[in-house]
Copies of this chain bind each other. A is one copy, B any other.
Amino acid sequence: MPKSREIHLIQRPTGAPKPADFALVERDVADAADGQVLVENLLMSVDPAMRPRLTAGQALEEAMLGGALGRVVQSKHDGFAVGDLVTNRLGFREYFTSDGKGLTKLTPDPDLPLTVHMHALGGTGFTAYGGLLHIGQLKDGEQVFVSTAGGAVGSVAAQIAKIKGCYVVGSTGSDAKAAWLRDVVGLDAVINYKAQPIRQALEEATPKGLDVYFDNVGGDHLEAALRRMNTLGRIPVCGFISGYNSGHSSVSNLSNIIYSRVTLRGFVATDFMHLYGDFQRDMAAWLKDGRVKYQETIVEGIAAAPGALIGLMAGENSGKMLVRLAN
């Protein structure tokens, strides 16, 4: 019977989450019974979408939920063998027992680092791929804006748009991330929204307007994009990070969608699961030939997980924020 340390939410944050909102708790985890497996988590994902769940959805005084990659260390389940890698939604803990529901076996690509399965070749990459190509109906050569372009989803969305021959503008919140997007990724224009007013900077960066805005931010970024949308433009809405801490994010010029006949569409990755095979084939190839680049911010140990989430909301990560729980 292993001991497992896990992160509990002990009070709902007001505004930005802070360390006192979380507690590190040690629990006994039962050995695998018949039909069960015991899983040790190796890597866990830290995502902006976790923030709204702290306000509503995540139970208090219980282990938090979140995407993770684990290894089966005991198995009395016919479908899993010791050593199998499994993705799961039970992050924020070191060990758990499971009857197998919600576990997906992962066969890692031998030519790529394991960690890419947690971002570019995993859920965040798939969110960018389907959000841009399916929800956003991106066409080759269009004018594209991606917000949080230095983040895990945004950086992949921006690079897919480049691969499709588009003119791509990205926004990010630091000079270092801006330099990576400009010099390494090769976006056509990069805006550090903390250094320049987003509205004016986006106007200057988009002389041909915008056909697609991949929105991770809402608020002032969405307002700025709505001013630039071309006729029949599309705005796949992936996230609204500008409102996650405050609970609201106001948009004053939504009426622009009428005259330009713009579509805004909220989505989650389950809306386009039929594309998962295409995504894995395309993205593995793009990663191997270097056409999709990535950054990772990896912190060590379950005790660091609350700080990782707090840092993510403050923009302290470069690329995907991960917590390594074991090797």
CB–CB B257/A254 < 8 A: no
Residues of B within 8 A of A52 (CB): 255, 259
Q: Which residue of B lies closest to A234 (CB)?
A: B265
CB–CB A238/B218 < 8 A: no
Residues of B within 8 A of A259 (CB): 52, 266, 268
- The distance from the CB of A226 to the nearest CB of chain B, in whole angstroms, is 10
Partner of A252 from the list B237, B248, B266 (CB cut-off 8 Å) is B248
Q: A249-B255, A254-B264, A264-B264 are in contact. List 5 more A-B contacts (CB 8 A).
A: A218-B255, A238-B258, A240-B255, A256-B266, A259-B268
Taking CB atoms and an 8 Å cut-off, the chain A residues in 201-239 that contact chain B are: 218, 222, 237-239
- Most chain B beta-carbon neighbours within 10 Å: one of A218, A254, A265: A254
Separation of A256 and B266 alpha carbons in the complex (Å): 8
Q: Which residue of B lies closest to A267 (CB)?
A: B261
Residues of B within 8 A of A240 (CB): 254-255, 258
Partner of A266 from the list B237, B238, B260, B268 (CB cut-off 8 Å) is B260
Partner of A253 from the list B239, B248, B262 (CB cut-off 8 Å) is B248
Binary per-residue interface labels of chain A (258-297) against chain B in the complex, 1 for a CB within 8 Å, 0 otherwise: 1111111111100100000000000000000000000000
A250 at the interface (CB under 8 A from B): yes
CB–CB B261/A263 < 8 A: no
A251 at the interface (CB under 8 A from B): yes
A307 at the interface (CB under 8 A from B): no
Q: Which residue of B lies closest to A271 (CB)?
A: B261
Separation of A280 and B267 alpha carbons in the complex (Å): 35
A13 at the interface (CB under 8 A from B): no
A67 at the interface (CB under 8 A from B): no
A243 at the interface (CB under 8 A from B): yes
Separation of A259 and B239 alpha carbons in the complex (Å): 9
